[in-house]
Structure 1
Amino acid sequence: MKIFNSFTKEAPNKVFISILLGALAGMLYSALIPLVLSGINPEDPAFPKADTVTETLFSFDVSNYKLALMFLFSCVLILLMRSSSEVMLIRVSSNVAKDLRTKFYYRIAGAPLATQEKIGSARFTAAVNIDVPRIIGGARVIPEILINTITLVGMLGFLVYLNFEVFKFVMMAIFIGVICYQIPITIGSRMFQTSRIEQDKLQESIKSLIYGAKELKLDTLKRQHFFKHTLLNHEDNILKNNKRAETIMRATMCFGDLISFFVIGAVCFIFVNYYSISQQELVGVVMALLYVTGPISIILGSIPQLAIASVSYRRMEKLIAEIPQEDSNEQVNQLGEWQSMRFNQIEYSYPMVSGEAGFKVGPLNLEINKGEITFIIGANGSGKSTLSKLLTLHYLPTSGDILFGDQRVSADSIVSHRQTIGAIYSDYHLFDRLLVELTDEVLATTQHYLKTLHLDKKVKIVDGQFSTTSLSDGQRKRLALLVAFLEDKDLYLFDEWAADQDPVFKNVFYTEILPNLKAKNKAVIAISHDDKYFDVADKILVMDQGKLVDYEESSLHLAQVS
């Protein structure tokens, strides 16, 4: 029932009205059988004597026209109330699905970057594409279960009215049938849970298939090994578990459809031998049991869907529990002017892995000034990427202080400080549109930069959207640079930006773009290995095993000199 809470929170009044209409429809359903029996068994003392007057309505002769009108009126009411109930719930469920996805999007966006990197995009994608639809599907059947339960209760009440001994016998038979039904359902649910875990692994493998396409094309044996032992292995495991689960579920559902008929058979062929029951009562009992076949079938048939939804709900809850929210004030406030960004005894430690301490950066003491170009260099694994993410406030330090001017970065100000920073990382994402307010000035500036970056023949701006992003790696990075210029930040960080550029544009980047940003009093940071352009930098920071070392004494400098 936790799943249904999302419905009641979204639109409590609509859900209440929907269930009320469904309940009334269920009660009217249960009243149809005695109404019909009153018409076809007028001499049965268990029912009121029916009026046998025949009237002509719309050229048809109708016996017991008052009962017929009541029957017709009841059917119309059932149609209207049941339809209104289900349509209302479908609309609410559509809103719930959107809200659930939206909240999940904001949850991801509000998570620390380190957490997002640890969890990975595959689990996020699987949650949105698999778990959310299953949860919504499970929530949708809960009202239907309630409505049919009310119908079932009404018909069982009718059995009490007909013959209490029959009622006790039927209840005992239904109880045994439900127990026999629930055991395989539980087994099938566990298999679906195993399959759901395997689907997370499959999502990761699909990601590897897409992003590792170049590597797989170069080595047939490598590709075959990947398919056999990774991608198709997960597919086979999912298929195996789903087949078993679906087989159990479907067989159990078929058994559920026949529970009412087993009960009818038990009443007609066994019960009548031990208890006295009139022919008219037996007809009423059989009709009532035939009537409850539908509600029982719907209730039992909904249980597998609820079981699958519960698996996804638990999976979603577990994932959300793994996504902490940053302790920060999301409101953007105006900050004071600053000329330098300073690190004071900054340290950052990665979480422990397999009981071993994670990589540690720091303590770091440095100063980044506006109107200066700073290069960060170092060997692979030296801590350059971690330092860069600390500089752009993507990572929050384990200890120490970051100051912009005299203002310390805190939970209240970190979001505001981030608004002054622009970055193009090596794994940057190029959005397909300009995510800024479009004005004539912005469009004119965009066109200017398109020409400057030699992209005006490749890319146009149509309603704020790039006409194409299917460009070479170097051109895509130039387009990302254009976006960075439009954002007009105070501090810029470029992570190996020139790595994909031809010699001409590499030279333009180091000798024109970076100096121009410096001239505009921007703080410019570049992670680079292009020692040919080290003279462009006002300051060079060298990372070595998580610490800053003097450039003149570093192994990189010695290698260049030799």
Structure 2
Amino acid sequence: MLISEFGRQAPNRLFAAVVLGCLAGVCYAFLIPIVLSSLRGAGEGETVADSQPFTLFSIEIADHRLAAVFLALCLFILVARTASRVMLTRISVEMTVSLRSRLYARILSADLHNLERVGAPRLMATMTEDVKRIILGGQLLPDLLMNCVTLLGILGFLAFLNGPAFVFVLQAILFGVVTHQVPVFLSTRSFRKSRQIFGKLQESITGLVYGAKELKLNSASRRTYLDEVVMGHERDLLQSDKATYTTLVAANAYGDLLSFFVIGVVAFVFINYHAVSTTELVGIVMALLYVSGPVAVIMDVIAPIAMAKSAVASMERVFAELSEDPSQNALEAVQPWRHITFEDLVYEHPRSSRKDGFSVGPVGFEIRRGQLTFIVGGNGSGKSTLCKMISLHYLPMKGRIHFGEHPVTDRSRESFRQEVSAIYSDYHLFERLLCPLDDRVLAQARMHLVDLGLEDKVSIEDGQFSTLALSDGQRKRLALMVALMEDRSLYVFDEWAADQDPAFKEVFYRKILPSLRARDKAVVIISHDDRYFDIADQILVMESGKLVDSRTPVKVPYREG
């Protein structure tokens, strides 16, 4: 599963990196017999220095042919390892962008209720922690393979040198690897726990940032939230991480010393039960010294790779929960329409996000172009849920929606959604205009800034807003400016005027909404401002998820001032 993620990014380069790593491992294993062959070149009782040396640049070299092979292998190992790791590093950098891009695309194509259920903190943790661990694990995979090849080569040489020693060393390595897996298994379980706690910590930090205003007003609540919620998660994460890394460090230290324990047993115990010549003993000890490196690396990388596999599984679960909107890529041309008909709509919030399983519907009504439709009702009456069905963000579980005579289906939903512009209570204001820009568009934007009293607060340069550090009311006015620039057929405003002072409420209700009606737009407004209900063409009253009344208000002539 982990290697497939890297293979999906660059299969050819991954294969080349793995091959180079394996060749480096094979060559690394060949260094021992070359050195031993050079040592055997001297006769019995003769030192290596007594042999006839070869002189190169005034440097005397014994057994120059083997020395040349040794040097060539070392250079090849250097080049192959470097090339392998460079390729993997580049693949990992590209893969980081690729994984996040896949997540970005899935977020944008997901159903809104699924996106809300998964939540921003979990998505942020996936894009940061999980992606980082996947990349690290993927980078270590070729190191694991290269050291496994090196280990096999050295064990092969050891089998050739002394069969009983090979069997003994192989048993010792198998014992060490198996016993090493116990702390690795425990640390992997601890990591999963840390990952869950980290997600909760991300959520509490989000509350700390976005709830700062409320927390500053109540010192007891502030202390409780900091000490029991944020720091509570921090303490849990600290304990879990301590357990994880303590186990890992102990496991790695055990792996590092395993080869030296084997060397000690061979040097002080094994030779008493088996006939081993001095030359063979030197070769066995050299092989074991070489084995210590690959074995230590193999044991060190097992835990990060296991964590990376766990991170891949976590990311796949997020992908599975972000079910794709079937209408996302289906574009059917929008036909002209004068009214939108909603017939017996029903929507129920999933119990995982709302324990009571709150539902809206069945409701039926009609919205017409050139009319203002107010939706009113108490808190929790279902107004916002209904508006999200009107804007086609929530797909009704029952009922039908028609734009004119044309039904909203999976093939047409995305096209009809492009007819809508909405500002909800939890709106997001982007730092720039996202529409195509030209001089006419920028001039129109500046005119709206003047109308909304923002000309001294915000300027627009190359489509970028000079600042978003504004009051809540000013930010909503800027969001309204962006919505007006979109020039859609249907506008939805969820409590837009709640943060506005009386002067801008007057502008919104007495000028902007009537101007949208005059431009033949269909406009839906959630509002508690009953003093402005006289401008409505119809008023829909919601209560406990039901539409309990639909009426036309009495028109009252408006006199400015």
Band the TM-score falls in, shorter-chain normalisation: over 0.9
Q: Name the residue aligned to 2:297.
A: 298
Q: Name the residue aligned to 2:319.
A: 320
Please report how far the alpha carbon of residue 204 of structure 1 lies from its aligned counterpart in structure 2 after TM superposition: 1.1
Please report how far the alpha carbon of residue 43 of structure 1 lies from its aligned counterpart in structure 2 after TM superposition: 4.8
Asked if 1:280 is matched to 2:279, the reply is yes
Q: Name the residue aligned to 2:557.
A: none
Q: Name the residue aligned to 1:38.
A: 37
Q: Name the residue aligned to 2:343.
A: 344
Please report how far the alpha carbon of residue 329 of structure 1 lies from its aligned counterpart in structure 2 after TM superposition: 4.5
Secondary structure, in 3 states, of the residue corresponding to 1:550? strand
Q: Name the residue aligned to 2:78.
A: 79
Secondary structure, in 3 states, of the residue corresponding to 1:319? helix
Please say if residues 189 and 307 of structure 1, whose CA atoms lie closer than 8 Å, have aligned partners that are also in contact: yes
Structure 1: distance between partners of 2:251 and 2:180: 6
**Counterpart residue type for residue 185 of structure 2:** T
Structure 2: distance between partners of 1:151 and 1:336: 68
Structure 2: distance between partners of 1:84 and 1:353: 49
**Counterpart residue type for residue 11 of structure 2:** P
Q: Name the residue aligned to 2:363.
A: 364
Q: Which moved more, 1:323-332 or 1:231-240?
A: 323-332
Secondary structure, in 3 states, of the residue corresponding to 2:150? helix
Q: Which moved more, 1:250-259 or 1:306-315?
A: 306-315
Please report how far the alpha carbon of residue 50 of structure 1 lies from its aligned counterpart in structure 2 after TM superposition: 13
Please report how far the alpha carbon of residue 536 of structure 1 lies from its aligned counterpart in structure 2 after TM superposition: 0.8
> Compared with structure 1, are the counterparts of its residues 358 and 94 closer, same or farther at alpha carbon in structure 2 (3 Å cutoff)?
same
Structure 2: distance between partners of 1:357 and 1:499: 28
Asked if 1:21 is matched to 2:20, the reply is yes
Please report how far the alpha carbon of residue 352 of structure 1 lies from its aligned counterpart in structure 2 after TM superposition: 3.6
Q: Deviations 1:214-270 (Å, cap 9, x if unpaired)?
A: 121112211111122211111111110110111111011011011111111111111
Please report how far the alpha carbon of residue 321 of structure 1 lies from its aligned counterpart in structure 2 after TM superposition: 2.2
Q: Deviations 1:531-560 (Å, cap 9, x if unpaired)?
A: 111111111111112121225699xxxxxx
- Please give the residue correspondences for 1:189-268 in structure 2 after superposition, counting only pairs within 5 Å: 189-268=188-267
Secondary structure, in 3 states, of the residue corresponding to 2:190? helix
Please say if residues 362 and 547 of structure 1, whose CA atoms lie closer than 8 Å, have aligned partners that are also in contact: yes
Structure 2: distance between partners of 1:449 and 1:407: 34
Please report how far the alpha carbon of residue 97 of structure 1 lies from its aligned counterpart in structure 2 after TM superposition: 1.5
Secondary structure, in 3 states, of the residue corresponding to 1:317? helix
Please say if residues 382 and 545 of structure 1, whose CA atoms lie closer than 8 Å, have aligned partners that are also in contact: yes
Q: Name the residue aligned to 1:560.
A: none
Structure 1: distance between partners of 2:462 and 2:115: 32
Identity across the alignment (%): 48
Q: Name the residue aligned to 1:154.
A: 153
Structure 2: distance between partners of 1:357 and 1:218: 31
Structure 2: distance between partners of 1:70 and 1:143: 25
Q: Name the residue aligned to 1:415.
A: 414
Asked if 1:391 is matched to 2:379, the reply is no
Asked if 1:11 is matched to 2:10, the reply is yes
Q: Deviations 1:39-91 (Å, cap 9, x if unpaired)?
A: 1221589xxx9995422212312121111111111111111111001100111
Please report how far the alpha carbon of residue 199 of structure 1 lies from its aligned counterpart in structure 2 after TM superposition: 1.1
Secondary structure, in 3 states, of the residue corresponding to 1:525? strand
> Compared with structure 1, are the counterparts of its residues 252 and 44 closer, same or farther at alpha carbon in structure 2 (3 Å cutoff)?
farther
Q: Which moved more, 1:359-368 or 1:276-285?
A: 359-368
- Please give the residue correspondences for 1:165-176 in structure 2 after superposition, counting only pairs within 5 Å: 165-176=164-175
Which consecutive residues of structure 1, in runs of 5 or more, have no partner in the other structure? 555-562
Please say if residues 133 and 307 of structure 2, whose CA atoms lie closer than 8 Å, have aligned partners that are also in contact: yes
Please say if residues 539 and 551 of structure 2, whose CA atoms lie closer than 8 Å, have aligned partners that are also in contact: no
Q: Name the residue aligned to 1:506.
A: 505
Asked if 1:185 is matched to 2:184, the reply is yes
CA RMSD of aligned residues (A): 2.0
Structure 2: distance between partners of 1:329 and 1:322: 16
Q: Which moved more, 1:464-473 or 1:32-41?
A: 32-41
**Counterpart residue type for residue 280 of structure 1:** T
Structure 1: distance between partners of 2:521 and 2:49: 94
Please say if residues 432 and 463 of structure 2, whose CA atoms lie closer than 8 Å, have aligned partners that are also in contact: yes
Secondary structure, in 3 states, of the residue corresponding to 2:365? strand
Q: Name the residue aligned to 1:114.
A: 113
**Counterpart residue type for residue 285 of structure 1:** I
What's the TM-score, normalizing by structure 2? 0.95
**Counterpart residue type for residue 488 of structure 2:** K
Q: Name the residue aligned to 2:270.
A: 271
Q: What is the count of residue pairs matched by the alignment? A: 550
Please say if residues 44 and 280 of structure 1, whose CA atoms lie closer than 8 Å, have aligned partners that are also in contact: no
Q: Deviations 1:153-188 (Å, cap 9, x if unpaired)?
A: 111111011111110000011111112211111111
Q: Which moved more, 1:496-505 or 1:326-335?
A: 326-335
Structure 2: distance between partners of 1:384 and 1:8: 48
Q: Name the residue aligned to 2:433.
A: 434
Please say if residues 373 and 538 of structure 1, whose CA atoms lie closer than 8 Å, have aligned partners that are also in contact: yes
Secondary structure, in 3 states, of the residue corresponding to 2:322? coil
Please say if residues 111 and 326 of structure 1, whose CA atoms lie closer than 8 Å, have aligned partners that are also in contact: yes
Please report how far the alpha carbon of residue 497 of structure 1 lies from its aligned counterpart in structure 2 after TM superposition: 0.8
Structure 1: distance between partners of 2:13 and 2:345: 54
**Counterpart residue type for residue 350 of structure 1:** H
Please say if residues 39 and 50 of structure 1, whose CA atoms lie closer than 8 Å, have aligned partners that are also in contact: no
Please say if residues 539 and 552 of structure 2, whose CA atoms lie closer than 8 Å, have aligned partners that are also in contact: no
**Counterpart residue type for residue 9 of structure 1:** R
Secondary structure, in 3 states, of the residue corresponding to 2:54? strand
What's the TM-score, normalizing by structure 1? 0.95
Please say if residues 373 and 537 of structure 1, whose CA atoms lie closer than 8 Å, have aligned partners that are also in contact: yes
Structure 1: distance between partners of 2:159 and 2:551: 96
Secondary structure, in 3 states, of the residue corresponding to 1:511? helix
